[in-house]
Structure 1
Amino acid sequence: MAAVLIFFLFLSTFCLAKISAQQNHPNISLDSSLTPTGNSSAWLSRSGLFAFGFYKQGNGYVVGIFLAGIPQRTLVWIAKRDSPNFSSNVSLVLSSDRARLVLQQTGSPEVAIASPSERISSASMLDSGNFVLYNSDGRIIWQSFDYPTNTLLPSQRLGTGKELISSASETDDSTGIFRLSMQTDGNLVQYPIGTAPVASYSYWSSGTYGSGSNMTLNLEDDGYLYLINSSINILRNITEGGYPTHKIINLMKIDVDGIFRLYSISLDRGNQSIRWESTKNKCDPKGLCGLNGFCTRNDTVAYCKCIPGFDFVDQGNWRSGCERNFTAESCKTKGIGDKFTIMSEPGTVWEIESYKEFDAATEEDCANACLQDCNCEVAFFKDGRCGKQKLPLRFGIRSTTDSNIALVKVGVLNGSINEDKMPGNLPKSSKKEVRMDVLISGISLSIFGILILSIAVIFVYRNRKWAYTKLSPNIGVKFIEDVAPTAFTFAELEQATNEFNEEVGRGAFGTVYKGILPYSQKVVAVKRLERVLAEGEKEFQNEITVIGKTHHRNLVRLLGYCLDGIKRLLVYEYMCNGSLADVLFKPENHPCWDERIRIACDIARGILYLHEECETQIIHCDIKPQNILMDDNRCAKISDFGLAKLLNHDQTRTYTAVRGTRGYVAPEWHRKLPVTVKADVYSFGIVLLEIICCRKSVDWNTSEDQAILEEWAYDCYEAGEIHKLVGGDEVVDLRKLERMIKIAIWCIQDEPTLRPSMKKVLLMLEGTVEIPVPPCPTSFFSAV
């Protein structure tokens, strides 16, 4: 009886909420319309938090519901998600003729967004995020909450038989490859899309099988996510809730990677944080890497790899699956067995559908059986059993505990596999047998070679030892430059630079001179420091020790130093092609588009090394084109690192006076906020825009709307006119250009936590991760 009373109270509360919603939200009358451009592109809820209308995606528009009251728009519902994006000349109309919500476009048939069985009288965008259609009695006859896409909002329910389906990518909200299904048996289960609802295909389950009919998944305002049945019995608490709700919205979403997560989104800043996720193992979702690909992890990051003899279908999207990189021969081709070999991929688990299984004593026996069967494309060997099957493979994952070995048949003659470059993990039986006379000859030659090498080593050692004793002590110290920075006297560097005669640059820390080391005739750059005179000798030597331990192809190498009283000098390798500024800002030196991408990746790798990979974390604090030098091959190398602020392993931020160069300095410097590695990310974003556009970030010689590069770049991106940024005569891949612009906009976000790490930036530059639509960098309008 008590349960029945609770049920009726629940229904009463729900009905009252609906009536209140209808009374408190403005109605949208019949024949109201929206267009993608202009002032009427969406219908807002009363608070302005949610909007129903056009949302820009790629080069077109989609219709959906999104969070409009935050800096970073977030799409929470999509209409006709598998239709092509709409152009700017489309209209969304609440039509009185047919009482439907339709999209109308000249020369094209109408596309119905909602066609309820009853006649529509009006509509509302509710503050709950629910878009509803009413009949003449004011009763809801259609609502978006009944047709969820990839997101569950507070007060929304996922009913029996309903599903949430992931998006295709971070920038494409069409149907993806994962689903979260509220099954009729009471179980909430995740599957790859297109698979039967059976346990073998599931990768997450609520474990509520057989718990009652009409089960629903519910989300409360505080992030409480739970399952409840028709008897109002809460059968499973998925999250405990209790998360803040003041100026925050909590929502649940099944993400592109197949994991469903609970997010808290700040209504002030738009940044979001993950409160809960269905799994921490990002390789758990089955099919993440597509056909013939398998998922492997590096710490918490998931990567996709192809089986041997295969490459990604789309090199810019490693979830696209893999295809052969060799030409497959017909089973009827004579001598087919000689044209293939077997390559193994141990420790991988797949969906196995063998057409023949048998006992095999060894891995080699299993491999040979597959080679001799022209129908076999891959074999699996585990615990003395061999199974042969055809491709494609799916649901691949690297496992550290499973002993299964995938044996893949790979073409030898016509493909990219060369017999001379076969990997060492080939089964022994696939290699030609070694004749005994060849083996004896090989061993004899090896012994003779070792004897000759030993004599040569002894001779060279004695010769160098004699030569070393003839050198003066001062010259002898130069041999350590390959191991650690060399200590020079001031007189030596004065002689090397011809008394500091040839100035090649001037920076924030001092003047740079060209020099030639007399003992080796090596050309060097000698920086005479001016801004570190207040430091003691010990502190200076500590900094030199740290800088000397940094070795990376995208960092200018420190060769030596001088500490002579107040005279402090640094000796660097000489970069003959000047700085990146010389390359970008002189029209005759402009790099081609592919070279610009390569330069951007070089810089990103150098900064990533400073932030995460060198022994002592370094914040550069002055990333700009003048501090990026170009070597003989126009490879970009970062200079002046380590001279600004060094951090120990247990430090992540610093409060200090403004450093760096105006125009490249992150907003937090001016606001006296904690400065982290994200300050370098901001500077990189500005430099990336300069690389893209081959112009300075601030140029008052241009028109006023183009003078500030980051403002102009965002305006062009927002308007879909990014081609203006590179000039009309230059041939550029617009997809890559848009990718670069989006990366730069993310890097220059006003809020440091919104900026990606340099590792994420590099992955985005290399095209291995999707890039979501960036919000407007609000620093344009912030006081500095």
Structure 2
Amino acid sequence: MVSISFPFLVCFFSFHLHAIAQPRNSNISLGSSLTPTGTSAWLSPSGLYGFGFYSQGNGYGVGVFLAAVPQRTVVWTANRDDSPVPSTSSLVLTTDGRLILRSPQGQDESIVPDSSQKIEAAAMRDTGNFVLFNSDHDIIWESFKYPTTTILPGQVLSAGKELFSSVSETDQSRGIFRLKMQTDGNLVQYPVDTPDTAPYSYYASGTDGRGDNVTLNLDDDGHLYLLNSTGSNIKDLTPGGHETNRTLYLMKIDPDGILRLYSYGLNQNGNRSIIWSPTNNKCVPKGLCGLNGYCVNQDEDVDCICLPGFAPVMEGNFTAGCERNFSSESCKNDNGRIRYIIQAAVNTVWENTGYSELSVRSREECEAACSQDCNCDAAMFKDGKCNKQKLPLRYGRRNLDDSNVALIKVGISSSSDESRKHGDVPKDPQRDILIIGLSLIGFAIIVLVISGALMLKVLALKF
């Protein structure tokens, strides 16, 4: 395991964490407790990891975090979808053998799944594994068996197990992406709430059928690989062989849905570097932009753009998606205030949910086909094919190498109807010019008549 200077870490922690470091190889005994504003964590013997409270939102969460760097990097979370707890909460290993979170009102919530065995002791190990023991000192529960976002050196993601991304770096609630070590031997990434089938995946190791009970493994030199049930290496995701002196490696599924292998320098700066990722394209994860929006790469960042005729559901929240900025009316209603036009989102790709595919000669022909079909909300035009679809559209991203054009039916209010709504007379430039011209002619005739009458009167006086 990584060699750490214990005195160095103790001094380091005095500035970052109100905590007690357990003596090497000692356990956390019954009756021990933590509070967010007092002793907030139980540290591993070297001080590398801590188990306890960390800041989240307007309160605190409970979990395991990398304590040997200035930023508390959370690697395991308890009850991750619960609301943040207040500063007056406490974490207690009770004298009757339960590990509970106690609210200010005295209500108790279990931190680990109920066990038929009484807890006799706990330990925060230097591996990052938080463990519970029974009276025979057998492990009855360990955080390594229930990973959340992260795999640490020596930890295994077993067949059938999943990692779930967090909402953000500061909110450890379950996010919208998952990594699954499938029982067929394939390591695959999907959006949440989707079947484990190829159309929904956006990364796969390509190791299906290569063995039973395949596991994902990480060594302390950054070697990330897959083993089958016989212990044979079926695929290296990274070669390993990286520096191990005062350096820690971990793999996690980030909030943006991308797998990354990180190295952390165990020094005062706690420098973090990305060692490996299966992609550099941040628009690859499906669903990053929510419904009816598509992802666009902008230098090292991404942006989400709504389809024509749509607006964000929540400003600043990509995953909330987009909604129509006009009220939908039946296209069969000729007396309605809405008329429809087709607008395009070029070089964009989407989930294929088409209900009808036509062979067409041009984009214009595809536009007409969708315009004339009241069931058609959008159509995908590519290589002479027109694929009609209904809303919502999902998993959109811009791909300049793909010629697909998304043709979106957009409703707009007719100008005459808008004028009537506001009590105005509709404007017609040609009619206005005609009215002005006729007015000038009429005015000229009147002037001529008056002038002629005056001239006749003057002549009559002379004679």
Shorter-chain TM-score category? 0.7 to 0.9
2:256 equivalent in structure 1: 257
Q: Distance in 1 between matches of 2:259 and 2:307?
A: 28
* Structure 2 length-normalised TM: 0.81
Equivalences for 1:435-474 in 2 at 5 Å? none
Q: Once the 2 structures are TM-superposed, how far is the Cα of residue 300 of structure 1 from its aligned partner?
A: 4.0
1:365 equivalent in structure 2: 365
1:412 is paired with a residue whose SS is: strand
Q: Distance in 2 between matches of 1:324 and 1:235?
A: 48
Q: Distance in 2 between matches of 1:409 and 1:136?
A: 68
1:314 equivalent in structure 2: 314
Q: Structure 2 counterpart of 1:25, which letter?
A: N
1:331/1:375 contact within 8 Å kept: no
1:290/1:319 contact within 8 Å kept: yes
1:140 equivalent in structure 2: 139
Q: Once the 2 structures are TM-superposed, how far is the Cα of residue 134 of structure 1 from its aligned partner?
A: 0.2
Q: Once the 2 structures are TM-superposed, how far is the Cα of residue 23 of structure 1 from its aligned partner?
A: 11
Q: Structure 1 counterpart of 2:108, which letter?
A: E
Q: Structure 1 counterpart of 2:390, which letter?
A: K
2:403 equivalent in structure 1: 403
Cα distance change of structure 1 residues 109 and 330 upon mapping to structure 2, 3 Å threshold = farther
2:366 is paired with a residue whose SS is: helix
2:173 is paired with a residue whose SS is: strand
Q: Structure 2 counterpart of 1:67, which letter?
A: L
2:295/2:397 contact within 8 Å kept: yes
1:349/1:396 contact within 8 Å kept: yes
Cα distance change of structure 1 residues 396 and 141 upon mapping to structure 2, 3 Å threshold = same
Equivalences for 1:291-310 in 2 at 5 Å? 291-310=291-310
Q: Distance in 2 between matches of 1:111 and 1:34?
A: 15
1:235-272 Cα offsets, whole Å, 9 max, x none, are 11111111111111111111111111111111112120
Q: Once the 2 structures are TM-superposed, how far is the Cα of residue 77 of structure 1 from its aligned partner?
A: 0.8
Q: Distance in 1 between matches of 2:310 and 2:32?
A: 54
Cα distance change of structure 1 residues 356 and 73 upon mapping to structure 2, 3 Å threshold = same
Cα distance change of structure 1 residues 137 and 24 upon mapping to structure 2, 3 Å threshold = farther
Cα distance change of structure 1 residues 361 and 127 upon mapping to structure 2, 3 Å threshold = same
Q: Distance in 2 between matches of 1:328 and 1:100?
A: 56
1:366 is paired with a residue whose SS is: helix
Equivalences for 1:211-360 in 2 at 5 Å? 211-268=210-267, 269-330=269-330, 333-335=333-335, 339-360=339-360
Shifted more, 370-379 versus 387-396: the winner is 370-379
1:492 equivalent in structure 2: none
1:292/1:396 contact within 8 Å kept: yes
Equivalences for 1:431-510 in 2 at 5 Å? none
2:98 equivalent in structure 1: 100
1:637-669 Cα offsets, whole Å, 9 max, x none, are xxxxxxxxxxxxxxxxxxxxxxxxxxxxxxxxx
Q: Distance in 1 between matches of 2:409 and 2:106?
A: 50
2:51/2:64 contact within 8 Å kept: yes
Q: Distance in 1 between matches of 2:379 and 2:185?
A: 38
Q: Once the 2 structures are TM-superposed, how far is the Cα of residue 331 of structure 1 from its aligned partner?
A: 5.5
Q: Once the 2 structures are TM-superposed, how far is the Cα of residue 338 of structure 1 from its aligned partner?
A: 5.5
Q: Distance in 1 between matches of 2:307 and 2:25?
A: 56
1:458-494 Cα offsets, whole Å, 9 max, x none, are xxxxxxxxxxxxxxxxxxxxxxxxxxxxxxxxxxxxx
Q: Distance in 1 between matches of 2:52 and 2:135?
A: 23
1:25/1:125 contact within 8 Å kept: no
Q: Distance in 2 between matches of 1:231 and 1:35?
A: 45
Equivalences for 1:696-711 in 2 at 5 Å? none
1:190-244 Cα offsets, whole Å, 9 max, x none, are 1111111111111111111111111111111110111111101011111111111
1:577 equivalent in structure 2: none
1:180/1:254 contact within 8 Å kept: yes
Q: Distance in 1 between matches of 2:203 and 2:254?
A: 14
Q: Once the 2 structures are TM-superposed, how far is the Cα of residue 371 of structure 1 from its aligned partner?
A: 2.1
Q: Once the 2 structures are TM-superposed, how far is the Cα of residue 25 of structure 1 from its aligned partner?
A: 2.2
1:337/1:371 contact within 8 Å kept: no
Across the aligned residues of Structure 1 and Structure 2, the Cα RMSD in angstroms comes to 2.1
1:77 is paired with a residue whose SS is: strand
Equivalences for 1:491-570 in 2 at 5 Å? none
Q: Structure 2 counterpart of 1:325, which letter?
A: N
1:379/1:408 contact within 8 Å kept: yes
1:336/1:374 contact within 8 Å kept: no
1:367 is paired with a residue whose SS is: helix
Cα distance change of structure 1 residues 108 and 397 upon mapping to structure 2, 3 Å threshold = farther
Q: Distance in 2 between matches of 1:313 and 1:337?
A: 24
Q: Structure 1 counterpart of 2:103, which letter?
A: Q
Q: Once the 2 structures are TM-superposed, how far is the Cα of residue 414 of structure 1 from its aligned partner?
A: 8.2
1:581 equivalent in structure 2: none
Q: Distance in 2 between matches of 1:31 and 1:165?
A: 33
2:65 equivalent in structure 1: 66
1:141 is paired with a residue whose SS is: strand
Asked if 1:34 corresponds to 2:34, the answer is: yes
Q: Distance in 2 between matches of 1:414 and 1:255?
A: 46
Report % sequence identity: 57
Structure 2: 5+ residue stretches without partners: 1-21, 419-429, 431-463
Q: Distance in 2 between matches of 1:136 and 1:291?
A: 52
Q: Which is richer in helix? A: 1
Q: Once the 2 structures are TM-superposed, how far is the Cα of residue 389 of structure 1 from its aligned partner?
A: 1.8
Q: Once the 2 structures are TM-superposed, how far is the Cα of residue 108 of structure 1 from its aligned partner?
A: 6.7
Bigger RCO of structures 1 and 2 (CA < 8 A, at least 6 apart) = 2
Q: Distance in 1 between matches of 2:187 and 2:132?
A: 29
1:147-183 Cα offsets, whole Å, 9 max, x none, are 1011111111111111111111222111111111100
Q: Which is richer in strand? A: 2
1:38-91 Cα offsets, whole Å, 9 max, x none, are 1x1111111111100000012110001111122222111111111111111211
1:369 is paired with a residue whose SS is: helix
Cα distance change of structure 1 residues 414 and 82 upon mapping to structure 2, 3 Å threshold = farther
Q: Structure 2 counterpart of 1:149, which letter?
A: T
1:230 is paired with a residue whose SS is: coil
Equivalences for 1:640-655 in 2 at 5 Å? none
Q: Distance in 1 between matches of 2:54 and 2:142?
A: 19
1:295-354 Cα offsets, whole Å, 9 max, x none, are 122344332211111122222233431122222224564445962211111111100111
1:250/1:264 contact within 8 Å kept: yes
2:320 is paired with a residue whose SS is: strand
1:192/1:202 contact within 8 Å kept: yes
1:155 equivalent in structure 2: 154
Equivalent of 1:112, from 82, 93, 110?
Answer: 110
Q: Distance in 2 between matches of 1:106 and 1:165?
A: 30
1:302 is paired with a residue whose SS is: strand
2:154/2:217 contact within 8 Å kept: yes
Equivalences for 1:729-744 in 2 at 5 Å? none
Structure 1: 5+ residue stretches without partners: 1-21, 419-436, 438-784
Q: Once the 2 structures are TM-superposed, how far is the Cα of residue 290 of structure 1 from its aligned partner?
A: 1.1
2:337/2:414 contact within 8 Å kept: no
1:497-537 Cα offsets, whole Å, 9 max, x none, are xxxxxxxxxxxxxxxxxxxxxxxxxxxxxxxxxxxxxxxxx
1:160/1:182 contact within 8 Å kept: yes
Q: Structure 2 counterpart of 1:111, which letter?
A: E
Q: Structure 1 counterpart of 2:166, which letter?
A: S
Q: Distance in 2 between matches of 1:136 and 1:392?
A: 56
